[in-house]
Homo-oligomer: A and B are copies of this chain.
Amino acid sequence: MPPAAGTADAGKRGRSAAWLHAGSLRPTRQRLVLAELLVGDGRDRHVTAESLHEAAQDIGASVSLATVYNTLRAFCDAGLLTEVTVDGTRSYFDTRVDDHPHYYWEEEGRLSDAPNDAVQLVGEPVAPEGAEVARVDVVIRLRRRR
């Protein structure tokens, strides 16, 4: 068992480290920085590689863009994040890993969670013969009301 691993400042670091641990990923400096930015305060986040890279720079942490991409991919493979496809030109990553609907603000290219009751699906989606449903993506595309 982890010999009471460096529980120096169990506050912030605790959550990120535990999160990485849950995905069986080594807590390297870069991963801790990114994990902290993603789940540090417990709120759900929707980021792009670019936005996360900027966020890291803003707090003075140096993580290369390639590493941000690779790390997001690793987080996804470990089941810590979900990739959401809404734009075609870039990938969004969501810290919520359950199947839920999204709002996509077209003008700003911003993604956010939609309240559970924003849409209601009746029953289970039907899968054709020989296939099974892996996931149901629901994206509510929004436009500013004029």
Contacts and interface: CB of A to CB of B under 8 A. Distances in A.
Nearest to A123: B120
A140 B49 CA distance: 25
Given A85-B87, A86-B85, A121-B122, A127 B142 contact: yes
A132 interface: yes
Interface string A110-146: 0000110111111101111011111111111111110
B122 A118 contact: no
Contacts of A106: 134
Contact-residue bracket for chain A: 35 or more
A103 interface: yes
Given A85-B86, A85-B87, A88-B88, A125 B134 contact: no
A139 B127 CA distance: 12
Contact of A139 (B83, B137, B145): B137
A123 to B, nearest CB: 7
Contacts of A134: 106, 141-143
Contacts of A118: 125-127
Nearest to A118: B126
A100 to B, nearest CB: 13
B132 A140 contact: no
